[in-house]
């Protein structure tokens, strides 16, 4: 199963080191594939270097795609993390 969701980045400084680390931690708890689509880039959500290199700023519109079993709860958790900037 594959699900996707458009998310607006709510972290005040964008996806910098701390939110990227939280995102990678959540992504690595999931066995399936998670990608972030941003400005014609497909970014592996399990790679902190790829996320930081993308330079995703505050207010950016991104699409998160989760593939695998139980994808919907993972997508919701990641969406919440990115929209609120909360450390999960």
Q: What is the pLDDT of residues 36-55, one digit of tens each?
A: 999 999 999 999 999 999 99
Identify whether 16 is a catalytic site residue.
yes
Q: Please, what's the b/e burial string for 47-66 (b: 16 or more CB within 10 A of its CB; e: otherwise)?
A: ebebbbebebeeebebebbb
Q: C-alpha angle with apex 64: 62 to 66, nearest 5 degrees?
A: 170
Domains of the chain and CATH, by start: 2-84 (3.30.1340.10)
Q: Give the pLDDT score at 86.
A: 63
- Which member of 5, 16, 25, 77 is catalytic? 16
Quote the pTM value. 0.90
* β-bridge mates for residue 65, sequence order: 4, 35
């Amino acid at each position: 199963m594959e699900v996707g969701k458009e998310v607006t980045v709510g972290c005040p400084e964008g996806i910098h080191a701390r939110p990227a680390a939280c995102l990678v931690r959540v992504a690595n708890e999931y066995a399936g594939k998670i990608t972030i689509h941003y400005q014609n880039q497909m970014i592996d959500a399990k790679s902190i270097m790829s996320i930081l290199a993308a330079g995703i700023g505050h207010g950016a519109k991104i699409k998160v795609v989760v593939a695998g079993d139980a994808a919907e709860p993972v997508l919701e958790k990641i969406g919440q993390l990115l929209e609120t900037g909360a450390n999960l």
